[in-house]
Structure 1
Amino acid sequence: MTFPLDRLVLTPDDIDLSRSPLAGQLGVETYCLGAFNPGLTRLPNGNLLMMVRIAEALKTPVFDGQVHAIRWDEGRYVLDGWPLALANTADPRKFLLHGGGWRIMALTSLSWLLPVELTPDGLEVVAHHYDKAVAPHAPFQMYGVEDARISKVGDRWLMTTCSVSPERHCTTLYASDNGLDWRFEDIVLDHQNKDMLIFEGLIDGRHWAQTRPLGDLYFAYPPDSEWRAGPSINLATSPDALHWKPHRKPGLRPHSATVATARMGGGTPPILTDRGWLSLWHGVEPKEIVGVYRTYWSILDRDDPSIVVATQHEPLLEAAPELTRPIEDKMYVCDVVFTTGIADAGDHYVVASGEADLACRITHIPKAVFA
């Protein structure tokens, strides 16, 4: 689908790395590989806030016969190097290390989160709040903090993030009383449970969330099943947003009739509508290294989110080459839109996405689309 108000509002050229948490510590030049996958919320003053993932990468990662990565280490940032002979660098976002009995990888960048304030319609930048950036602060974040998702539940803002380290690839929770100043709460989900989305409201007094556990092994559905084995969107509940229990019933699962959603995961925190909980999620069609990422939608029952009230098998959003054409010299992946935030704006929603793992895209989507 196409929408009249659909534009990029933030690109790597807009990021001032002299104000980065890493500034002046590495002794080598870095650049902004991407400013993307923004969490989104509305602030008390009516403006919108994006929590933008800034992927800060080494300008020259290969030198002295090694490929290098950035690591947080006890309050400072350092470089690690691996012999080129041990590394597979086919994917520009990471490199795989040979020699183990399982997949081991390192990132070509370290991510931190930048609060970017927007006008109420989300189409213009008001301020970059570098002084309120969220950056690694513990060993379980030594390779970065990624992909914020923000939910306002009652009077409190909750933000889930992915924290990356050799210890675990875990989900971490931050909280705020104003949507702008964030405090770390705790690790809430353990290894490789990504795309945690807390519902924007309670159900029967409890917090609900969508999660997406990953693994290297999935058991087959029966041959005639409507479902396809693979990553799916699960559900969990909590009394306090800190302690989570997996829900017994499945959530959103990939359909066997299409490969467009062969791999799927959460997009925006579910928001309550007249029909139920609106969930925007991503489906990935296998293609080359990264795949084709598109955004889809489903409506979940307001009292039992394991029940799908309605869904749309045609994509809501697809990658938009016309938007990235002015910055195509910076592109390193294509066919990727990754929707990560939603805010109510009366007769429409303001939807925030990462475009091509490079920039922040804002789209105004009429509520009638989901009627």
Structure 2
Amino acid sequence: MSFAIDRLVFTPDDVDLSRSPLAGRIDAETYVLGAFNPGMTRLANGNLLMMVRVAEALRDPVRDGHIHAIRWNDGEYVIDAWPLDRVDTTDPRTFTVRGGGWKVLGLTSLSWLLPVEMSPDGLSVIAAHYDRAIAPRTSYQCYGVEDARISRVGTRWLMTACSVSPERHATVLYTSDDALDWRLEGIVLDHQNKDMLVFEGLIDGKYWAQTRPLGDLYFAYPPDSEWRAGPSINLATSPDALHWKPYDRPGIRPHAATPATARMGGGAPPILTPDGWLCLWHGVEPSGAVGIYRTYWSLLDRDDPSITLATGHAPLLEPAPALTAPLAHRMYLEDVVFTTGIADSGDHYVVASGEADLACRITHVPKAALAG
């Protein structure tokens, strides 16, 4: 679909690295690889807040026969060196360490979160709150904090994010009373899961969340099944948003009939509408090293979100090369739109996405486009 208002609103050029949490703390030049995948919520003053993932990378990572990477270590930032003959650098975002017997990755950047206050329509930057940036602060975050998702439940804001380290690849929870000052509550999902989204409201007194656990093994559906085995969107419930139990019934699963959603995961936190829970999620079509990421939507039953009432089988958002054309000199990835936030704005929704793992994209989606 195409929409009248659909543009990039925050790019790597908008990040002031002199105010980065890493500034003056490592002896190497860095640059912004990407400013993308913004969690989003509406503040009490009516403005929108984007929690932008800033991927900060070394300007010259390869030198002296090694590839170098940034790591947080006990309150400091250090640079590790890996011999080039031990790594594979096919994916520009990561490098694979050979010889481990299983897949072991290093990162070409370290990510931290920058709160960026936007106008109520999401189109103009009001302020970037560097004094409230969220950076690694514990060993399970030593390779960065990634891909925030923000939900308001009652009077409290809940933010999930992915923490990356050799210890684990886990989901952590932050809480806030104003969506500006955040408290780290710790790990809530202790397994590889990049897409935990808390529903914006309770169901029968419980918190609900979409999750997307990953693994190297999936069991096949019957040959005539309408579903395809692989990563899917699951559900979990909690009495307090800290302790989560997987829901017995499956959530949204990939359809066998289309390769466009062969891999899938959550996008924006589900919001309650008069017709049920609206959720935006991503489907990935296998292509090249990364795949083609698109955004789809589903409407879930308000009392049992394992029941899908309606789904848009055509993509709601697709990668938009025209938007990133002015940033062609910075491009390192194509064919990716990754939706991470949604806010109600009357007759339309303000939808926040990461475009090409590079910049923040805002789209105004008329509510009529999401009718079941």
Give the TM-score, by structure 2 length: 0.99
Q: Does 1:42 align with 2:42?
A: yes
Give how far 1:370 is off. Answer: 1.6
SS at match of 1:368: helix
Which residue is 1:285 aligned to?
285
User: Which stretch of the first structure deviates more once superposed, 277-286 or 187-196?
Assistant: 187-196
Which residue is 1:260 aligned to?
260
Unaligned runs of 5+ in 1: none
Which residue is 2:203 aligned to?
203
Q: Does 1:249 align with 2:241?
A: no
Rounded Cα–Cα distance in structure 2 between residues aligned with 1:149 and 1:335 = 22
Which residue is 2:51 aligned to?
51
Which residue is 1:135 aligned to?
135
Which residue is 1:75 aligned to?
75
Rounded Cα–Cα distance in structure 2 between residues aligned with 1:263 and 1:232 = 7
Rounded Cα–Cα distance in structure 2 between residues aligned with 1:205 and 1:191 = 26
Rounded Cα–Cα distance in structure 1 between residues aligned with 2:71 and 2:194 = 21
Which 4+ stretches in 1 moved above 3 angstroms? none
CA displacement 1:226-278 (0-9 Å, x = unmatched):
00000000000000000000000000000000000000000000000111000
CA displacement 1:174-194 (0-9 Å, x = unmatched):
000001111111100012022
Which residue is 1:304 aligned to?
304
Which residue is 1:325 aligned to?
325
Rounded Cα–Cα distance in structure 1 between residues aligned with 2:214 and 2:112 = 23
Rounded Cα–Cα distance in structure 2 between residues aligned with 1:227 and 1:56 = 39
One-letter code aligned to 2:226:
E
Which residue is 2:194 aligned to?
194
Give the TM-score, by structure 1 length: 1.00
Which residue is 2:233 aligned to?
233
One-letter code aligned to 2:241:
A
Which residue is 2:15 aligned to?
15
Unaligned runs of 5+ in 2: none
One-letter code aligned to 1:254:
P
Give how far 1:297 is off. Answer: 0.3
Rounded Cα–Cα distance in structure 1 between residues aligned with 2:290 and 2:26 = 29
Which residue is 2:116 aligned to?
116
- Superposed, 1:333-344 pairs within 5 Å as 333-344=333-344
Give how far 1:64 is off. Answer: 1.5
Rounded Cα–Cα distance in structure 2 between residues aligned with 1:99 and 1:370 = 48
Rounded Cα–Cα distance in structure 1 between residues aligned with 2:338 and 2:212 = 15
**CA-atom RMSD, angstroms?**
0.5
- Superposed, 1:134-173 pairs within 5 Å as 134-173=134-173
CA displacement 1:262-307 (0-9 Å, x = unmatched):
0000000000011100010000000000100000000000000000
Give how far 1:113 is off. Answer: 0.1
SS at match of 2:52: strand
Rounded Cα–Cα distance in structure 2 between residues aligned with 1:145 and 1:313 = 32
Rounded Cα–Cα distance in structure 2 between residues aligned with 1:43 and 1:100 = 46
One-letter code aligned to 1:30:
T
Rounded Cα–Cα distance in structure 1 between residues aligned with 2:79 and 2:164 = 16
SS at match of 1:34: strand
Give how far 1:96 is off. Answer: 0.1
One-letter code aligned to 1:198:
V
One-letter code aligned to 1:60:
D
Q: Does 1:370 align with 2:370?
A: yes
Rounded Cα–Cα distance in structure 2 between residues aligned with 1:191 and 1:95 = 21
Rounded Cα–Cα distance in structure 2 between residues aligned with 1:196 and 1:299 = 18
Which residue is 2:86 aligned to?
86
One-letter code aligned to 2:190:
D
Rounded Cα–Cα distance in structure 2 between residues aligned with 1:347 and 1:122 = 15
Give how far 1:137 is off. Answer: 0.2
One-letter code aligned to 1:205:
G
- Superposed, 1:101-112 pairs within 5 Å as 101-112=101-112
Rounded Cα–Cα distance in structure 1 between residues aligned with 2:206 and 2:234 = 16
Give how far 1:100 is off. Answer: 1.0
SS at match of 2:324: helix
User: Which stretch of the first structure deviates more once superposed, 182-191 or 231-240?
Assistant: 182-191
CA displacement 1:154-208 (0-9 Å, x = unmatched):
0000000000000000000000000111111110001202200000000000000
Rounded Cα–Cα distance in structure 2 between residues aligned with 1:162 and 1:60 = 26
Give how far 1:24 is off. Answer: 1.0
Give how far 1:151 is off. Answer: 0.1
